[in-house]
Amino acid sequence: MDKSIFSSFTGYFNYNYYQTRKWGMLVTVIMVWGLLSCGMVNDPEAAGKELFDNDNLVAWCIVPFDAMERSPKERAAMLEDLGFTKMAWDWRMEHIETLPEEIESLQRHGIELAAVWLWLDRHASQGLQPHHHQIFDAVGESGLETTYWVSFGNDFFEGLTCDEKVENAANAISLVHDRVRGDRGRIALYNHMDWFGEPENQICIIEKLGRDSIGIVYNFHHAHHQVEDFPRLLEMMMPYLYTVNLNGMRMDGPKILDLGSGDLEAGMIRTLAESGFKGTIGILGHTEGEDIEKVLLRNLVGLERIREQL
């Protein structure tokens, strides 16, 4: 092997190297993925590895958490540089006005708006709020079809019995569903902790609604208490599962950890790969006070190390 290529390849696994040599790192990422892909063609043991190919990865939690405060144009360019083809859009109220620009920038750089996060609080039981409609309008006017990742604030379920929680959640989700289906949108229930974060409860809601355009997005970082039960829960979720967002996992935390830095995520990812799951894979940028580009790079490197173990 050419000495310069070998040097770049070994540098791929050195965090200090890619932190200071970002562009060389990006070239190396492409090289490694290409080499692994070629090696997988005739490898019967590689079933499921295509699940983690670059074009199936979704960049997630990268808008309000970016210390660089990138504009939509800068963010789309950064994602293209990293090789992402999909993004899930999270937001705070100040970002909603820029959603049309976000969509236009993503399209210009060939990146799919794979999902839009949607947070419902206790007011959603009376109806959707103006900012919800603003989001729906921006997506609808663009002509895009996307999936809305829906979750609830804890106050939504206060003082309710389990049956009442299912009923109220189903009613609120039905409002979203009826609003977005005209634009061929789908809904995925997002496990943001507590009662709504339990897959069994989400499935009860889905079954009550009885609509095939409602599924689940499962987040490792909200599921530390479910690690030991993950194989059973995965089997239960499989008919409804659209996306799995990965995270480094240790039983005692922290909540957010780079892929490959924990001691549990590799086993969970192996279970996922062997399950036959065909949905998308989220790569997390959910950190405070960091450049999201560096966070995504660390997670891409960690995922590649885990892929080798598969």
Q: In this predicted model, what pLDDT tens digit does every residue of 67-96 receive, in sequence order?
A: 999 999 999 999 999 999 999 999 999 999
- Confidence band (pLDDT; 50, 70, 90) for 65? very high
Question: Are the C-beta atoms of 12 and 29 separated by less than 8 Å?
Answer: yes
pLDDT band for position 125 (cuts 50, 70, 90): low
SS (H, E, C) 73-102: HHHHHHHHHHCCCEEEECCCHHHHHHHHHH
Predicted confidence (pLDDT) per residue in 216-229, tens digit: 999 999 999 999 99
Residue 27 pLDDT more than 50? no
Q: Residues 121-147: what's their mean pLDDT?
A: 90
Given a cut of 60, whether residue 37 has pLDDT beyond it is no
167 C-beta neighbours (distance < 10 Å), count: 15
Residue 53 C-alpha from the chain's centroid: 14
- Structural tokens at position 162: 């389990």
Over the stretch 257-296, which tens digit does the pLDDT of each residue have?
999 999 999 999 999 999 999 999 999 999 989 999 999 9
By percentage, how much of the chain surpasses pLDDT 70? Answer: 84
Q: What's the longest Cα–Cα distance across the chain?
A: 67
pLDDT of residue 241: 98
CB 255 within 8 A of CB 192: no
Task: Report the alpha-carbon distance of residue 57 to residue 295 in Å, rounded.
Answer: 15
How far, in Å, CA of 91 to CA of 198, rounded? 24
Gyration radius (Cα) of the chain, Å: 20
Q: What is the pLDDT of residue 198?
A: 97
d(CA 105, CA 114): 14
Q: Decide if pLDDT at 133 tops 90.
A: yes
Residues 6+ apart with CB under 8 A from 40: 46, 49, 50
Please tell me the predicted confidence (pLDDT) of residue 122.
77
Q: How many CA atoms lie within 13 A of 7 on its CB side?
A: 6
**What 3-state DSSP class applies to 209?**
helix
Q: Quote the CA–CA distance of 272 and 269 in Å, as a whole number.
A: 5
Give the model's pLDDT for residue 231: 98
What does the mean pLDDT of the chain come to? 87
Q: Is the pLDDT of residue 302 over 90?
A: yes
Q: What is the pLDDT of residues 135-161, one digit of tens each?
A: 999 999 999 999 999 999 878 999 999
The C-alpha atoms of residue 63 and residue 89 are separated, in whole angstroms, by 7
Integer Cα distance of 188 and 203 in angstroms? 11
Residue 156: which residues within 8 A CB-CB, separation 6 or more?
Answer: 120, 121, 122, 124, 125, 168, 169, 172, 196
Distance of alpha carbon 160 from the chain centroid: 30
In sequence order, the 6+-apart residues with CB closer than 8 A to the CB of 236 are 199, 200, 203
Q: Mapping DSSP to helix (H, G, I), strand (E, B) and coil, where does residue 8 land? A: helix
Q: Which residues contact 164 (CB under 8 A, 6 or more apart)?
A: none
